[in-house]
Amino acid sequence: MPRMNMVQALNSAMDVMMARDENVVVFGEDVGYFGGVFRCTEGLQKKYGRDRAFDTPIAESGILAAAIGMGVYGLRPVVEIQFADYIYPATDQLVSTAARLRYRSAGAFTAPITVRSPCGGGIFGGQTHSQSPEAIFTHVCGLKTVIPSNPYDAKGLLISAIEDDDPVIFLEPKRIYNGPFDGHHDRPVIPWSEHPASEVPAGHYTVSLGQAACVRPGAEVTVLTYGTMVHVALAGAEEAGVDAEILDLRTLIPLDIETIVASVGKTGRCLIVHEATRTSGFGAELAALVQEHCFYALEAPIVRITGWDTPYPHALEWDYFPGPRRVAEGLKRVMAD
């Protein structure tokens, strides 16, 4: 089986879908000729032509709005917003049109678009190239939100997203494009090729939206996390010496509540880890759900380890980033009671 990093896996997903379905078109800023700022769309224009893989002006609102129009009339647009931090000009069309079209047309029309966008920090991007805005989108009913943590899932989830009839926000943690970063920024970079999830089938397969993955079975505490933080949580659990069960949520909406409830019901403890800021972050929703579903199984208060409630700083990046040390402290705290 071929080995791929996340960039190659995402590229392969688009390639497979463009070959299978002529309604799939791929576009965005620097996406066509240049092949994408992170190279995710490299070669697609050459292979499928300028009608199907093309550049757009720098105008996110217009890009998204045009995609919705295309989707309404039968195409399956896969849009790249170059950084998740650039998505805000397009928020109006995402919230007011893409997310609500099905409801307000009683199902007659939908916006089957996939919006790919690199998110998260760890590359010294500063405040306009590092954000994790997933909770903004999970708050909007009518959108699905996906965040993969490895190449195999990235490809399978992206194919599912493209095949899905509703709008999907597909956030790609840019720090793990080329390797499974565990938060130890001072250690050598580990490439994906040494990770089992870099074995990616060349052809079509899917990973269903709404299914969490257990990346580490354990008995003492359940860790709910996604994206880059999956790898950080694994390192944190090892450093804390805690037998943690780590769930990679993979998709936030739809959420695999059954797997979460089964795990917390078993362990009786829950730690939530995300890179995004804390207040009204997706962790708050997870904590509420765990409380609603698992109150009588809980043996300790739920703990959240997140980014601080500050903009992402240029300096002090590793003070902001919730690394393995903070995760380990969180695990010890949730185990203390």
Catalytic residue of the set 129, 195, 231, 274: 129
Please state the closest distance from residue 123 (CB atom) to other proteins, in A: 7
CA distance 284 to 199: 34
Is 185 designated active site?
A: no
CA distance 196 to 152: 9
124 binds other proteins (CB under 8 A): yes
Please state the closest distance from residue 56 (CB atom) to other proteins, in A: 8
Tell me if residue 134 falls in helix, strand or coil: helix
89 binds other proteins (CB under 8 A): yes
Both ends of the chain: CA-CA distance in Å? 46
311 binds other proteins (CB under 8 A): yes
Region near other proteins per CB under 8 A, out of 15-23, 86-94, 101-109, 133-141: 86-94
201 binds other proteins (CB under 8 A): no
Please state the closest distance from residue 222 (CB atom) to other proteins, in A: 29
37 binds other proteins (CB under 8 A): yes
Region near other proteins per CB under 8 A, out of 152-160, 190-198, 296-304, 306-314: 306-314
Q: How many residues bind other proteins (CB under 8 A)?
A: 34
Please state the closest distance from residue 134 (CB atom) to other proteins, in A: 19
The torsion defined by the Cα of 157, 289, 136 and 171, in degrees rounded to 10, comes to: -20
314 binds other proteins (CB under 8 A): yes
Long-range contacts of 100-105 (CB under 8 A, 24+ apart): 100/142, 101/68, 101/72, 101/142, 102/142, 102/166, 103/142
Find out whether 89 and 57 touch, Cβ atoms under 8 Å. no
Both tokens assigned to 265: 């019901």
86 binds other proteins (CB under 8 A): yes
Among 66, 95, 123, 284, binds other proteins (CB under 8 A): 123
Among 6, 16, 17, 29, binds other proteins (CB under 8 A): 29
Please state the closest distance from residue 54 (CB atom) to other proteins, in A: 9
55 binds other proteins (CB under 8 A): yes
Among 126, 201, 218, 268, binds other proteins (CB under 8 A): 126
**Percentages of the chain per state (helix, strand, coil), in multiples of 5:** 40, 20, 40
49 binds other proteins (CB under 8 A): no
288 binds other proteins (CB under 8 A): no
Find out whether 289 and 257 touch, Cβ atoms under 8 Å. yes
CA distance 247 to 258: 12
Helical spans, DSSP H, in 39-171: 44-48, 60-72, 91-92, 101-104, 134-138, 151-163
203 binds other proteins (CB under 8 A): no
The torsion defined by the Cα of 123, 129, 130 and 136, in degrees rounded to 10, comes to: -160
The DSSP annotation for 232-284 comes to HHHHHHHHHT--EEEEE--EEES--HHHHHHHHHHHS-EEEEEEEESTTSHHH
127 binds other proteins (CB under 8 A): yes
Among 52, 76, 116, 129, binds other proteins (CB under 8 A): 129
Catalytic residue IDs: 129
Interface positions with other proteins (CB under 8 A): 29-30, 32-34, 37, 55-59, 61-62, 85-86, 88-89, 123-129, 308-311, 313-316, 319-320
